[in-house]
Structure formats: structure tokens, C-alpha cells
Structure 1
């Protein structure tokens, strides 16, 4: 049966569980979305309904038990949390977040370093009108360190001591950031860029953790991974895909195509310590580094049980706004099945961003939801049947 985007049915297709009544307009306030529910973590629940009231999820129950509210049930529908793109940059006003992200089913973004002047716009999130934003503010760096060699000075806060680092964290926390961003990035030139000394990096991470803020760390070079883990980073941004050590270039992979033993031990440490990786494969596959050095570490990390978050590093290297389908497909190429990709784009991405009430379908969570026709694979996600933000129907 062909349905328009605005057709709302109270019939679960093929089940006969509910009376076939048509909703002429989106319900408001109190309603249910029914189909196969994908909570973001755990197994899917066929024939269930997500109960929504006043912008929050009340419960997930068998669909036939719902009698007190309108039910929206797309034909052969799947209900899932709104997608979160955990690694973005650039100015995101309320309108831009609506047009670039929310209208396409991306209900949250993680801005992974922007100038201080952009914070007010990022933190402006009127209920049900735009994608939620998590902001880091400028990246903390040593004098002359990344991102200063390649980005404008306003993208960084330079700190030269443990005290300056801790003070910068408190300043950003007072301004409303959800996460702190640092880097261990020597670059790929013959002369390495400055890196944090261990004491300053540790002071930054300790100060962030005392304030309940996780630390996201930019690492592209394998040589920066161990110092980042020693400092206490909670999430590794990007997949380390090159290796410069004391002026020499070392192979990232061994002759069998697996991560080199030293790299593999660090990936194992990340798994043990619960450190998340946001690989941003989309942006790197648009560079000369595209190849096995990108995919083999992600595949190994995932196979060991490592947690992966989705982010495409928009807008660099002509990456796209909207539903990050290309990043999803690249994660699948790196060994993640559809369930793992969905978790990377919802629950784990929410954790990276610091969204404690989004990214999962569970009682008490914000009602950021998507309904798609069929299984929630990449093709279906490109055109959701319904988009709900804070309990408000966007589509």
C-alpha cells in the first residue's frame, strides 16, 4: 500500500493488531509510534509502540496494548532514535541546524571545535525546532600545536602549563560546553608540531572529569595515541592512519594487513578502558590516505568489542550535511553490521556528545525519533517517513 509522508495509520501492516483508522494530521503532545522498535541498544522489538507524552518517552509496550492515544504506524515501519552526527564543525545556527540536519532526520550534532563566538548560536536550542548541539568550544593546544598550524587562531586556546590548562577547562565549562577537545597531532611534515607535555595534558583531563566533562582527543598519527590514552582521553577522534616516529615513517599495518603489534596493543587498551573511537572515515576517504590503513584498525577495534561512534567531519573535504549515509556505508565496509552502525549513530554518538537523554528509546528520554519504512538500513534512512524532535513532528 503506497503512503504519502503525511499519512498516519493506526494499522500495523500485516499484523491486524489495530483498527485501521487514518490520522489526518500529526498528533500533538500525547501519541504512540508503532512498528519494530530499535532502542539504540539491545535487540529490536517487533510489534511494539513508543509512548510519547509532552516531548518525552513514557514507555515501550506491545502495540496492541495502546488504547489511550493516537497511534502512528507506517507500513512495515521501524522506529529508532534520531541519528546523531557526533563530529561536525562550522557555524550551526538554529536555522542552519534545522535545514542542514533536522529536516533530514539528524536530531543531534556534536560540534568538535569551533571559535568561542559561535557558542551562543550552538547552545541556542528551542524545543522541537532544531537539532540539538553539543559544543566543545575551541580546541585546547600547546603553543604552536594543532590546530594552529592549519586553522585560524580562534579555533584554539593555547595553554602552556597544567594551571593554564585547568583554568581553560573551567572557563569553557562556565560557558556551557558539553565536552573538552584536545589533540596529540604531530602532523606529517619532517618537523613535528608541538605536543602537550604529559603533566599539562593530564591536568586538562583531570579538570574536565572533575566537572563531569569527557575529553575528545584528535589523533591522526599512531605516535599520538598512547600519550592521549595516558592523559585520560575518553574518545579518540579519527582513526590513526599514519605513523611518524622520530623523523621516520613506520608502517601502520603488519605484512598480513592487521594493525602493527604496538598499534594493536593500544587498540586493545582502548577496548579495556571503554574508550570510544569516532573514525570519520568519510573525510579521510577523500584524501590520499584512503586505503587499508583506514579500514583495518577500525575493523580490528570493532572485532575486539571496541565502541564506535558515527561522525563525518562536516564540512571538511566536501563532506555532506544531512543524513550521513556515506559514513554509515564506510563503517559497514569496515566490518560493522546494520545493528552496529545504528548504535554508532545513536547511543554511542550521544555518549560522545554528552547527550544523556538522547540517542536511545527508553522511558524518560527525549522523544527524538525516526520512523522508516522497512529495516533501518542506509537507504531507508535517506528518506524517513516521520521525524520527531522533542515530541514534535517535523515530518
Structure 2
């Protein structure tokens, strides 16, 4: 019996013979096809037996797989389709080639560079469609003179500002260069003499100017003493999890005898939830240090239980963290109380929010066709070896 074109292509897809032909296509994303299986949209319940419709690099819709009759359908047995993973907090690997080899080829379709020298901003923003991991960039971190990151990183990683006007001017300068986010810090360091931190007026000027320009502010906070001033200034995202507390020269515990965050910390976490402030804990980098312990996990567990949004980022390349699929961060988020659905949302929809990607991180009509297909449920193990990687509608694998 003769097979129809659709049936023939579906048979090839099921045997894995179709993927190499698509993988070899060097042309820009122009294909029309569907990926069928269980669809995990990034937010919301999975949709078994559905297909993601792709045309010219964009998602047309999500429909029951049985209704697709106008295009090739790729449907390996037991396949799951999810948005491309986004590493919301990393550094380095600025060029398109580096992002292709170390991120995209492993299924990380976009990244958030959380502070790099100004000279690399143009390279980060060079994201040829369908050929590299899309990058969101902050440029150098804004800081007071002598403040973090200057004590530990090269001067190129910072722009020092000493007044509200200088802060506002620096934000406008970065916005003009294409920065998608602004990065600041409230970090006293771990030395007997604390590092300088922003005064209230300058920090608010930075956040207010960013907001007027349609940007948002990511704030480095490792010490609990920096969390309240960061929220007072209007930071939208908290980078890292505060795991220590230097309070006016005294070291205080961040956890109480019951192992939960102390009342002051819990109140600040509740405030973050009320204000929609997202946390990117970067547990991977901290668990490779002497600070590894309950103070990393209990605050994330409490924040998540309160309804807070958590994003995935592993702070590559610091402390020997890895490029590629950030499975260790996924497993650590699970250890901090996030179930599989919450980890997937942290790695897709919420990570996109942190980076400022409006058309990535979810499977919905009009979104960029950044997609992964895995066998079985999208667990960290399955994500280490995706069946297919699709970037802007182009098959990478």
C-alpha cells in the first residue's frame, strides 16, 4: 500500500532518519513542520498528544496531534517537547561561535550574561538567527567607587558612579549600547572593613531611570544586609541567595533554631513575593564553596513555598561551574524544594523573564521556535541528551 507524504515523513521521524537531513540545512529558518508528543509549554500543565506547529522560525500554535495534516510531523515514540532551556545567569563565552559550541549545541538556546566588560557588549548582541544561543546582556555592573565588583574583578567589569545623576547617565549609556538589563550590587564583602555600597538616592535613580527606559534591574545580593536596600531601591531581580548576614560589624545567623529563615529574612522574602521580585539562586556555584549548607537551601525553599518565582542560572564559569545543559543547577533546585514542573518553569519561562526575552521561554503562538524534544519526561537526565534541538525553527540536532 502506498504511503502518503505525511505518513512517510512521520515514519522517518519515528526511526530517527529524518533528523540528520534537517540538521544539515544551512539556510535561515523557513521550515514548516510540527513536533508532536507531550507538550510542556513552560508555564501550565503538560498537553499529551499535542503538536507544536512551526512556520518560518515561529510557533503558529499548539493543537491536538491528530489534527495536523498540512506539514511533516516529527513524533518519536514517547517524545516530549519543551521550550529551549535558558541559563539566566552566566558570564564569558561572548561570541556567537562560543555560544553555539558551549550552549546551543547542548540545548541551551538562550543565556543571560549577568555582567561583562563594555567592549564585549556588541559581540553578545550578535545572535544570528538559528545559529547561536541568543544573549541578553547587562554590560558592566554599576557600583559606587570602590564597591563590588571592583575589589574582586577587573575594572572592566564595573562602571563606578558616585551620584544620582551619574547613575542615571550610566543607565542611559548602557541602554543606548543595547543592554537589556542593568546590574547593580549591594555587597559588603566578607572582610572586617565593609566595601562601599550605594546610597539610597543613587540606587533609586538607577532603578527609576532603567524603568523609564523599559529596562529592569538585576541586583547582586549574597549578604542579607544588602537585601532590604536592594528592595528599597526598586530592584526587580535578586541574583544569588543571601546566605550570610553581616549586621553592623556582627555576624548573625540567617537561619533560626528550626532551620528556617529568621523572622527578618522571612519578612523580606514575603516582600519579594508581594512585589514580584524574582530570585536566581545560582546554587551550583555556591555548593562548590565552603559556604555550602542549609543556609543556601532553606531560603529558596521558603521563598518558593511562599509563591516566589525562581529562575535558573549557574553563574558559569566561576568555581568550575560548567557550560552546557545546567543539570546540576536543576538538581540543586529540586533539593531546595522545587518539583519537576517548577524546575522546568525556572529554566524556561522565568529565566526568560529575568533576561528580558519576551518571545522565548514558552511554547505559545507568536513565540520564537526555540524547542527541545526529549524521550520521556523532561528530567535532567533526559535533557542531557535531547533528541532534537530547534533554534528559531532551524534543526541544530
Same-fold call, TM > 0.5? yes
Partner of 2:5: none
Q: How far apart are the structure 2 equivalents of 1:29 and 1:229?
A: 45
Contact 2:219 2:239 (8 Å CA) reproduced: yes
78 and 21 in structure 1: CA distance in 2 versus 1, 3 angstrom threshold: closer
Which residue of 342, 345, 348 corresponds with 1:346?
Answer: 348
Which residue of 256, 259, 262 corresponds with 2:258?
Answer: 256
Partner of 1:173: 175
Contact 1:145 1:193 (8 Å CA) reproduced: yes
- Which whole-Å deviations, capped at 9, do the CAs of 1:197-256 have from their partners, x for residues lacking one? 000000000000001101000000000000000000000000000000111000010000
Q: How far apart are the structure 1 equivalents of 2:345 and 2:180?
A: 21
C-alpha displacement at 1:11, in angstroms?
Answer: 5.9
Q: How far apart are the structure 1 equivalents of 2:279 and 2:80?
A: 27
C-alpha displacement at 1:22, in angstroms?
Answer: 6.4
Residue 109, structure 1, aligned to residue 111, structure 2: yes
C-alpha displacement at 1:349, in angstroms?
Answer: 0.1
Partner of 1:30: 32
Partner of 1:379: 381
Contact 1:74 1:371 (8 Å CA) reproduced: no
Q: How far apart are the structure 2 equivalents of 1:320 and 1:204?
A: 32
Partner of 1:100: 102
Aligned partner of residue 307 in structure 1, secondary structure: coil
C-alpha displacement at 1:109, in angstroms?
Answer: 0.4
Q: How far apart are the structure 1 equivalents of 2:50 and 2:286?
A: 39
C-alpha displacement at 1:91, in angstroms?
Answer: 3.7
C-alpha displacement at 1:323, in angstroms?
Answer: 0.1
C-alpha displacement at 1:387, in angstroms?
Answer: 0.1
Partner of 2:46: 44
Partner of 1:304: 306
21 and 372 in structure 1: CA distance in 2 versus 1, 3 angstrom threshold: closer
C-alpha displacement at 1:74, in angstroms?
Answer: 1.9
Partner of 1:359: 361
Residue 291, structure 1, aligned to residue 293, structure 2: yes
Aligned partner of residue 133 in structure 1, secondary structure: strand
Q: How far apart are the structure 1 equivalents of 2:94 and 2:387?
A: 25
Correspondence 1:128-147 to 2 at 5 A: 128-147=130-149
- Which whole-Å deviations, capped at 9, do the CAs of 1:52-76 have from their partners, x for residues lacking one? 0000000000000000000111220
Partner of 1:389: 391
Correspondence 1:1-395 to 2 at 5 A: 10=10, 23=18, 25-26=21-22, 29-395=31-397
Aligned partner of residue 308 in structure 1, secondary structure: coil
- Which whole-Å deviations, capped at 9, do the CAs of 1:324-377 have from their partners, x for residues lacking one? 000000000000011000000000000000000000000000000000000000
Contact 1:12 1:34 (8 Å CA) reproduced: no
Aligned partner of residue 210 in structure 2, secondary structure: helix
TM-score normalised over the length of structure 1: 0.95
Stretches of structure 2 lacking an aligned partner (at least 5 in a row)? 1-7
Contact 1:240 1:294 (8 Å CA) reproduced: yes
Contact 1:9 1:74 (8 Å CA) reproduced: no
For these two proteins, the number of residue pairs brought into alignment is: 383
Q: How far apart are the structure 2 equivalents of 1:171 and 1:12?
A: 52
Q: How far apart are the structure 1 equivalents of 2:9 and 2:376?
A: 15
Aligned partner of residue 182 in structure 2, secondary structure: strand
Q: How far apart are the structure 2 equivalents of 1:83 and 1:387?
A: 10
Q: How far apart are the structure 2 equivalents of 1:22 and 1:296?
A: 47
Partner of 2:4: none
Aligned partner of residue 296 in structure 1, secondary structure: helix
67 and 207 in structure 1: CA distance in 2 versus 1, 3 angstrom threshold: same
TM-score normalised over the length of structure 2: 0.94
Q: How far apart are the structure 2 equivalents of 1:9 and 1:288?
A: 54
Stretches of structure 1 lacking an aligned partner (at least 5 in a row)? 1-7, 14-18
